[in-house]
Amino acid sequence: MRGSAVQVTVSARHGHLNDDDQKQLHEKAEKLLHFFDRLTAIAVTVDLHRDRDNKLGVEIIAHAEHKHEFVAADRDADIHHAFGLAADRIKQQIKHYKEKLQDHRRDPSHNGGEAKP
């Protein structure tokens, strides 16, 4: 695995994350590599400004090879739960992307066809 080649950043808007939360979010973000090893960068942004429902936001942007990007955001009163919700969305997007890649490879009109002059 190329764990060191992936840049993971955790940042906060409207406040400051304590070191423990920042470390935990960083480690959780790295686990996204288990689902797709072609990620090149993962950015986690925590918006500490709470809305009327006392929820804060977490946004995850995962960059992959070939300029593909997975983006998800969610809100919850707990930072880690909001991250988990957003990470689940990223995982779902990755799953669909991988299925699309596999279907594309099976399609004979894309791979097996001869090039036209």
Domain count, the chain: 1
Most confident of 53-57, 62-66, 99-103: 53-57
Asked whether residue 117 is assigned to any structural domain, the reply reads: no
Q: What is the pLDDT of residues 77-110, one digit of tens each?
A: 999 999 999 999 999 999 999 898 887 666 555 5
Instruction: Report the chain's mean pLDDT, rounded to a whole number.
Output: 88
Question: Tell me, what's the pLDDT at 40?
Answer: 94
Domain ranges, residue 57 = 3-106
Q: What is the layout of strands, in order, in the sheet containing 7-13?
A: 7-13, 39-47, 56-64, 68-76
Asked whether residue 44 is assigned to any structural domain, the reply reads: yes
- Which CATH number characterizes residue 40's domain? 3.30.160.100
Measured in degrees and rounded to the nearest 5, phi and psi for residue 102 equal -70, -40
